Amino acid sequence: MNKQTKFVALAALFSAFALQARADAAQVNVAASAFHVQMGGVDGILYFGSSNTNFTASSLFMIAALPRVPGTGAVTVFVDGFGVSGTYSCTVSSSVASKSFTRSSVFSWTQSVNFTAVELPSSSYLSIGCTVPADGGFRGVTITG
């Protein structure tokens, strides 16, 4: 076999592997500016750059709609927050399932929740609601699938 024949054979082999390879996961990033207070609440959120902070002396309930990643299947939702003291209580919901977590505030934190394809059907939407301590906030949310 000459070099050209070997190259063509390897190229064909790699092409076959590429067809079988799993596609890269899709990712959607949501800036913290997407968060707002629930209807009727006092808007005590200070937005700066891509972050937000609860600018009140007490906890504040923040909500946000989250976009879907392209395609169907399981997704992971990463929530990035920060704060000095207090506790975060968050629920990420689809029309079928809700996943909750509680996190003590430290300077910087990330928490993830996973949804299976059954828990997030193609007709479903995602949302997040969090009770945020005073001076606590978010850097954003990342959804991967």
Between 111 and 124, the higher pLDDT residue: 111
Angle at 110 between CA 98 and CA 144, to 5 degrees: 60
pLDDT tens sequence across 8-41: 444 444 444 443 434 556 899 999 999 998 766 6
3-state secondary structure 62-81: EEEEECCCCCCCCEEEEEEE
Query: Which CATH code of 2.60.120.260, 1.10.1660.10, 3.90.550.10, 2.60.120.620 fits the domain covering 25-144?
Result: 2.60.120.260
Comparing C-alpha atoms, which of 140, 131, 134, 112 is closest to residue 55?
134
Q: For the whole prediction, is pTM greater than 0.85?
A: no
Name the average pLDDT for the chain. 83
Task: Give the pLDDT confidence score for residue 77 in this predicted structure.
Answer: 96
